[in-house]
Amino acid sequence: MNDLTILASSFDKIKAYIQANDDPSKTLLDFKTPAELSEVIDFKIAKKGVSENEFLDLLDKYLEYSVKTGNKQFLNQLYAGFNFPAFIGEVFSVLANTSMYTYEVAPVATCIEMEMIRLMNSYTGYTNGDGIFLSGGSNANLVAMFSARNRILPDSRVEGYNRNEKLRAFVNENAHYSFGTAANLLGIGTKNVIKVKADADGRMQAEALEKAIQHAISKGEKPFFVAATCATTMMGTYDPIDAIADVTDKYGIWLHADGAFGGSLILSDKHRHLMQGLERSDSFTWDPHKLMNIPLICSALLVKKADTLQQNITDINTDYIYHNIDEIEDLGKKSIQCGRRVDAVKLWFAWKYFGVDGYRDRIDNLMDMAGYVEEIVNSHPKLRLNSKRQSFAVCFQYIPKKRTNVNDFNLAVREALRKTGKSNVNFGYNGSDLVIRFVAANADLNKADIDRFFNYFIAEAQKLENE
């Protein structure tokens, strides 16, 4: 095959794909079942390679039957949209094909990652902070809990964790499941992650947290980690970090802020008050691949104390890779990964392109668009807001006029939109209510895009209602 011919053809396909994101007549999915998909794409690998034309056809089919997450009707996940400078940064990162363990093999990327960590910490208030890019928010939460365990039990790095220590972690009952996974991996155990009851708006309350901590202490247990959530996955609710920090300071407990979803709010002058007190935390998870629209994966863990991450790692006696010959510390020495993708570079290209002010405006637009969704729900006689909106997520239901199961009805509307490719919006449960969860995550959203979604949604609901 002629690689240059394929490359030229690929550029044409990429251009058409990008242009389609802004075409409202284009659907975001040509839905097929797994069986149907297997009929149009041969997924098996044969002994003999495919021809050039067959290869190009596979490229077409991959894009044709994938979900177009850059389409403005993709409202399903906590990430959405297409970020051109970040896309270019990703392409060039793959082209260079290096790894982040040493300056020797990644000189430019190392300097870029260090600058991104410095810039991100300028928002957190960690004046002597540090950080690392890693493979997602779940991994960041794991390393945060890992760091907290190593602070309270420094010998556990070598001796292992003794169950008699009875470590206990505390999270919002609506917190991400990754904290249970982290406790499992660290040997602490999922049952020792205590879920603190939230208030009616989904926020963990400092009073409830303190009672839970006192109860654990009274049983001879050792509280060591508290996670405040900066935008819960379902409702986008922010825990009161300042009030929680008063409790963790009192008991000497590590405070982590999980901003995997909503951490980018800190870029907004108008709205960062929702994260007041962040500078009092010990660590912070931030996923630019969500609200900053950086291609997956782009996630960082920031820590308040500069040497925290290095102290997590033991016995780096590897002179085959770390030579200590450059005037900079190799980033691999503070990472639990050895081979590591160059994820900071695409963020750097995007931040260079939009600038500090540009990203502030993009985050503000997301909040404005979520507010507009809320206005539409509140003004429509058949739509009902299911929970108070605090940030980027709006949870609502359509209430049909005829007697029917409201949960089943809303799911049917959602599925009809998904399978026709008109809109892709997610759903979840708030108590026993199945609710439609609209997430404003694409920074290029405007009111016309939102109007289009509700036109589709209401038309489908009315069609179902009249059957």
Task: Summarize pLDDT for 17-39 with one digit per residue, the tens.
Answer: 999 988 888 999 999 999 999 99
What is the span of the domain harbouring residue 161? 90-350
The answer to whether position 177 is within a domain reads yes
Instruction: Indicate whether 459 belongs to any domain.
Output: no
What gap in Å lies between CA 320 and CA 326, rounded to an integer? 15
Shared domain check, 27 and 105: no
Last residue of a domain, one of 294, 317, 350: 350
Q: How far apart are CA 373 and CA 438, in angstroms?
A: 8
Tracing tokens 């297409």 back to the chain, one arrives at 82
Which of 290, 317, 350 finishes a domain?
A: 350
Per-residue pLDDT of the chain in tens (467 residues, 90 and over written 9) = 678 888 888 888 899 999 998 888 899 999 999 999 999 999 999 999 999 999 999 999 999 999 999 999 999 999 999 999 999 999 999 999 999 888 888 999 999 999 999 999 999 999 999 999 999 999 999 999 999 999 999 999 888 888 889 999 999 999 999 999 999 999 999 999 999 999 989 999 999 999 999 999 999 999 999 999 999 999 999 999 999 999 999 999 999 999 999 999 999 999 999 999 999 999 999 999 999 999 999 999 999 999 899 888 765 666 667 667 777 788 888 888 888 999 999 999 999 999 999 999 999 999 999 999 999 999 999 999 999 999 999 999 999 988 889 999 999 999 999 999 999 999 999 989 999 999 999 999 999 999 999 999 999 999 999 87
Contacts of 42 (CB under 8 A, 6+ apart): none
Q: Under DSSP, is residue 95 helix (H, G, I), strand (E, B) or coil?
A: helix
Using CA atoms, how far apart are residues 113 and 206, in angstroms rounded to an integer?
A: 35
For residue 51, give every residue at least 6 positions away whose Cβ sits within 8 Å of its Cβ, in sequence order, or none.
1
Sort strands 433-439 and 393-398 into parallel, antiparallel or unpaired: antiparallel
What pLDDT shows up at residue 335? 86
pLDDT for residue 310: 85
Q: What is the pLDDT of residue 323?
A: 67
Same domain, 203 and 272: yes
Residue 113 maps to a domain: yes
Same domain, yes or no: 343 and 237: yes
Angle between helices 344-379 and 447-465 (to 10 degrees): 50
What's the total number of domains in the chain? 2
Task: Tell me: do 149 and 240 sit in the same domain.
Answer: yes
Does 346 lie in the same domain as 197?
yes
In a domain, 23, yes or no: yes
Q: Domain with 116 in it: what CATH number?
A: 3.40.640.10
Q: How far is CA 143 from the centre of its chain?
A: 16
Does some domain include residue 432?
no
Write out the two tokens for 191: 């049952």
Query: 207 and 117: one domain?
Result: yes
Q: Assess if residue 306 is contained within a domain.
A: yes
Identify whether 102 is part of a domain. Answer: yes
CA distance 104 to 325: 9
Distance CA 347, CA 287 (A): 11
Q: In angstroms, rounded to a whole number, what is the distance separating the alpha carbons of residues 322 and 414?
A: 53
Same domain, 281 and 166: yes
